[in-house]
């Protein structure tokens, strides 16, 4: 099924977080509740900066891996163009 998404969150301190989910609303709510990842827990609140949906789980995970390997400047450029 192609209902997976790769998302970028902008944290309160301006940093970006990349993740994968099959339920974006629920995952965003979990992040803002401080129960999702250690990275975002100390940088609340978070806002959705960019999303790429309609992917299979393996496609989404590969896309996330590529994004996480990008330099910070490239991630910011991706958010601006989204």
Domain range for residue 30? 4-81
The domain total for the chain is: 1
The pTM (predicted TM-score) of the whole model is 0.91
Q: Copy the structure tokens of residue 45.
A: 């609140």
C-alpha 62/C-alpha 49 separation (Å) is: 19
CATH code of the domain containing 56: 3.40.1440.10
pLDDT of 36-74, one tens digit each?
A: 999 999 999 999 999 999 999 999 999 999 999 999 999
Give the pLDDT of residue 15. 95
Residue 4: count other Cβ atoms within 10 Å of its Cβ.
22
């Amino acid at each position: 099924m192609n209902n997976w998404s790769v998302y970028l969150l902008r944290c309160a301190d301006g940093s970006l977080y990349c993740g994968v989910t099959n339920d974006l609303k629920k995952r965003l709510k979990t992040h803002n509740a401080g129960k999702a990842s250690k990275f975002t827990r100390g940088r609340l609140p978070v806002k959705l900066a960019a999303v790429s949906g309609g992917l299979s789980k393996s496609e989404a995970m590969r896309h996330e891996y590529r994004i996480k390997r990008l330099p910070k400047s490239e991630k910011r450029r991706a958010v601006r163009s989204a």
